[in-house]
Amino acid sequence: MKFEWNKIHKYEENFEREIREAVEEYVLEFYDIESVGELTEEDIASIIDFRNWIGEYNVMQIGFSELIAEWESENED
């Protein structure tokens, strides 16, 4: 029997959401803030450095990348 996994994208979306929520929760707690928009440029630079340090294949990458994108969209000039 040929293996298949119907609606695997639903599982992926759930995992990505959980990772994103975990990253945001940790970052907000670490910096003692209420929202991503409160992060400073220095904070986000440090987060970007950490994301780069953990490596591109780390499962947490998606959470950090989405958090950084959210911050950038909130802080566009």
Gap between the Cα atoms of 44 and 27, Å rounded = 10
pTM score? 0.89
Largest CA distance in the chain: 55
Question: What is the rounded CA–CA span in Å between residue 25 and residue 60?
Answer: 13
Neighbouring residues of 27: CB distance < 8 A, sequence distance ≥ 6: 36, 39, 47, 67
Per-residue pLDDT in tens (0 to 9) along the chain, 77 residues: 999 999 999 999 999 999 999 999 999 999 999 999 999 999 999 999 999 999 999 999 999 999 999 999 998 86
